[in-house]
Amino acid sequence: MFKRSALFFLLMFSLVLWTSCSSDGDDQPVIEEQGEDITDNNSDDDSNDGDNDNDDNNDGETASLATNGCSNVVIFNNYAYAACGGEIEVVSLTTLERNLLSISADDIAVDTEAGLLFIQSRNTVQVLTLDNPMEPSIAATASTNFSIFSGVAAANGVLVISGGSGNSDTQVFNYTASSISLVTDGIAVVDNVTGNPDVHVTPTPDGITAFYSQDLGNVANWGIQIVSLNTNAQVTDTPPVVVLTPGQFNGSFAPFGNANFPVESEFLNNQLYVAHFAAQGIEVIDLENNNTLSLISLPYEPTNIGTDGTSLFVVGITNDSVDIIDPSTATVVDSLGDALQQATGVAASETHIAVADRSEGLIIIAR
């Protein structure tokens, strides 16, 4: 009841999705079904022996096992984990062995300190343990709010669900390796907008800082709402929203649902880097200097951004490679890969880049 223009947004959304997806759909404004679950599967370790069509950086790379592409990806301990709709795909970055699990996931996050994986699939959020890194195991499940473009992030025992578009409030949970419990159901300063298509978090000594991507109105005005939460998942501070470059979204929604609308963030060295389609580049929020904004321009609309702790890695659905940015100079210093089709997620380690692609699935690029 706090949403402004929510009804207008949802009606417009449904019309655009109906015309752009060319599918019968159901009563949820879901962009693209990810196919039926399949049984776990391992790839043949010599199925691609250098005679494939991948670029030279994909040394020994095997084809993705995902049925209908992937939407987001994280890396932990030399394993890549991708949310692929009705499936999770896992790749060992040491051997390039692959496995496909029949676990539904629209968005995915990892707590690198606790070694836990988190997934959201519509109205369900789950905690997965990584005792067997090639086959994560579900340890806890809870119901959550969901509307199109909802995102999940977790750190320091606090998990945040952004909620998505229109009348779907954010929710904040506490978790352990075997449990998840709802603590905060709705935050007015977050929910009183058209929508919150994603959230990124970083740990603090007292809990976490959450960075909500926000549609401030009419799918044309954008911002980042910063929220501080303690380890009990309770709000402690909500500074004013940081207003980003405005711009009407006129593209197809199809590549982005159910998660990954192209206002996506990454935290590095007390700066927030926002891959923002309307700015056609990376908007940088200087968290040490009154949240002042600067821009790293790109020749395309970025979709997502990741980091290895030193550099930034950027993808876009119209760009066929991963751009690597040196944050100290705010410039693109390299591009790797040349076979991306609809890249919506990216993560990086010291040795590899993992890309979630809505057409090609989970792509691994050697650095």
Q: How far is residue 362's CA from residue 236's CA, in Å, rounded to a whole number?
A: 38
Name the domain count of the chain: 2
Residues 174 and 295 in one domain: no
Q: How far is residue 133's CA from residue 135's CA, in Å, rounded to a whole number?
A: 5
pLDDT per position as a tens digit, 270-296: 999 999 999 999 999 999 999 999 999
Residues 81 and 171 in one domain: yes
Residues 85 and 233 in one domain: yes
Is the pLDDT at 164 greater than 50? The verdict is yes
- For residue 57, say if its preceding peptide bond is cis, omega within 30 degrees of 0: no
Residue 61 lies in a domain: no
Residues 235 and 171 in one domain: yes
Q: Give the per-residue pLDDT at 13.
A: 41
Q: Give the per-residue pLDDT at 256.
A: 76
Q: Give the per-residue pLDDT at 76.
A: 99
Is the pLDDT at 25 greater than 50? The verdict is no
Q: How far is residue 156's CA from residue 110's CA, in Å, rounded to a whole number?
A: 11
User: Residue 137 half-sphere exposure, CB side, CA atoms within 13 Å?
Assistant: 7
pLDDT per position as a tens digit, 298-327: 999 999 999 999 999 999 999 999 999 999
Question: Does residue 22 or residue 162 have the better pLDDT?
Answer: 162
Q: Give the per-residue pLDDT at 287.
A: 98
Q: CA triplet 151, 153, 155: central angle to 5 degrees?
A: 170
For the chain, the average pLDDT equals: 87
Residue 85 lies in a domain: yes
Q: How far is residue 256's CA from residue 24's CA, in Å, rounded to a whole number?
A: 18
Residue 325 lies in a domain: yes
CA 248 to mean position of chain CA atoms: 21
Q: Give the per-residue pLDDT at 15.
A: 37
Both tokens assigned to 340: 């991306």
Are 303 and 280 contacting, i.e. CB atoms less than 8 angstroms apart? Answer: no
- For residue 48, say if its preceding peptide bond is cis, omega within 30 degrees of 0: no
- pLDDT winner (highest mean) among 21-35, 163-177, 351-365: 351-365
Give me the torsion for CA of 253, 110, 199, 184, rounded to 10°. Answer: 130
Q: How far is residue 20's CA from residue 22's CA, in Å, rounded to a whole number?
A: 6
Q: Which stretch of 13-17, 106-110, 141-145, 188-192 has the lowest confidence by average pLDDT?
A: 13-17
Compute CA distances 194 → 217, 220, 265, 274, 321, whole Å: 5, 10, 19, 19, 32
Residue 183 lies in a domain: yes
Is the pLDDT at 34 greater than 80? The verdict is no
Are 236 and 207 contacting, i.e. CB atoms less than 8 angstroms apart? Answer: yes
Q: How far is residue 104's CA from residue 83's CA, in Å, rounded to a whole number?
A: 8
Number of Cβ within 10 Å of residue 166's Cβ equals 23
> 267: closest CA among 297, 306, 304, 233?
306
Domain ranges, residue 325: 264-366
Is the pLDDT at 20 greater than 70? The verdict is no
Both tokens assigned to 229: 């939460």
All residues at 6 or more sequence positions from 125 whose CB lies less than 8 Å from its CB, including other chains: 118, 119, 141, 142, 143, 144, 152, 159, 161, 173, 180
Are 359 and 346 contacting, i.e. CB atoms less than 8 angstroms apart? Answer: no
Question: Does residue 112 or residue 261 have the better pLDDT?
Answer: 112
Residues 237 and 284 in one domain: no
Residues 281 and 333 in one domain: yes
Which of 209, 243, 277 is the last residue before a domain boundary? 243
Residues 144 and 173 in one domain: yes
Residues 81 and 225 in one domain: yes
DSSP summary character for residue 278? G
Residues 201 and 349 in one domain: no
Q: Give the per-residue pLDDT at 60.
A: 55
The distance between the two most distant Cα atoms of the chain, rounded to a whole number of Å, is 57
- CATH code, domain carrying 229: 2.130.10.10
Q: Give the per-residue pLDDT at 220.
A: 95
Residues 239 and 302 in one domain: no
Is the pLDDT at 165 greater than 90? The verdict is no
Q: How far is residue 187's CA from residue 203's CA, in Å, rounded to a whole number?
A: 19
Average pLDDT over residues 92-113: 98
Q: How far is residue 28's CA from residue 31's CA, in Å, rounded to a whole number?
A: 9
Residue 58 lies in a domain: no
